[in-house]
């Protein structure tokens, strides 16, 4: 199966991001925090965004690296969860102050997505 992170799946709208942080709920699995909101009716696919705090990593090179690692781990495992995820918007935030390997990030992201799916099932 083709594993892509297409343009339609990227959360870029400033309005959606603001609503996400105002009304969204969080799931925390160190070193990641997921803020999610399924109240967006006009979405066809789940949309994801990735963020790293400038307070924790001063250099843009480091922030970009962790965003790239999170995008890569999401891209690799989203095919496992694609059929279960409801159309919603969510933002992954790297909250650690130290570096973690890709395998550790993937493990925590898998736990977060599993918990998100179980929450979505309870709400439906």
DSSP E strand stretches across the chain: 25-29, 32-37, 47-52, 89-94
pTM: 0.91
User: So where are the chain's domains?
Assistant: 13-123
pLDDT > 90? residue 121: no
Distance between CA atoms of residues 57 and 98, nearest Å? 9
The string of pLDDT tens digits covering residues 1-46 is 568 888 999 999 999 999 999 999 999 999 999 999 877 667 888 8
At residue 60, the pLDDT reads: 97
The string of pLDDT tens digits covering residues 82-115 is 777 888 899 999 999 999 999 999 999 999 999 9
Q: Does domain 13-123 have CATH number 3.30.230.10?
A: yes
Distance between CA atoms of residues 16 and 39, nearest Å? 10
Instruction: Determine the angle formed by the axes of helices 102-123 and 60-81, rounding to 10 degrees.
Output: 50
């Amino acid at each position: 199966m083709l594993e892509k992170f297409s343009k339609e799946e990227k959360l870029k709208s400033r309005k959606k991001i603001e609503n996400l942080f105002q009304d969204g709920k969080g799931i925390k699995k160190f070193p990641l925090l997921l803020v999610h909101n399924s109240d967006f009716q006009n979405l066809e696919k789940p949309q994801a965004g990735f963020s790293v705090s400038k307070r924790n990593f001063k250099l843009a090179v480091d922030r970009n690296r962790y965003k790239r690692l999170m995008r890569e781990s999401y891209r690799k495992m989203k095919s496992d969860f694609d059929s279960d995820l409801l159309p919603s918007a969510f933002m992954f935030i790297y909250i650690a102050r130290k570096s973690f390997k890709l395998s550790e990030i993937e493990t925590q992201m898998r736990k977060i997505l599993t918990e998100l799916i179980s929450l979505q099932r309870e709400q439906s």
